[in-house]
């Protein structure tokens, strides 16, 4: 999966040590989510892209991100 995916993370100091990224092959590029949100790095290039988000931060961050994504996709719970 990592060979074909773009990998994004929230906390760089934890991504390789504790998150899903610790299973990524050496050399896998980890893109900071903050860099994407501020326009310093590109996000997805197209609908066929495979992305992995390695959220190793706080559970509240995960919840807020999930709710923001649902809102962006106009999905209500």
Considering only CA atoms, which of 25, 27, 4, 17 is closest in space to residue 54? 17
- What pLDDT is recorded for position 40? 94
pLDDT at 57: 67
Virtual CA dihedral for 4, 74, 54, 45, nearest 10 degrees? 30
Residue located via tokens 């994407």: 36
Residues of the chain under the 70 pLDDT cut: 12-13, 57
What is the fold, at CATH topology level, of the domain defined by 5-72? Rossmann fold (3.40.50)
Q: What is the DSSP letter of 72?
A: H
């Amino acid at each position: 999966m990592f060979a074909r995916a773009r990998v994004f993370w929230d906390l760089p100091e934890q991504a390789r040590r504790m998150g899903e990224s610790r299973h990524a092959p050496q050399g896998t590029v980890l893109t900071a989510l903050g860099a994407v949100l501020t326009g310093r790095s590109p996000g997805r290039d197209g609908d066929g892209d495979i992305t992995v988000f390695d959220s190793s931060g706080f559970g509240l961050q995960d919840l807020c991100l999930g709710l923001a994504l649902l809102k962006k996709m106009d999905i209500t719970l």
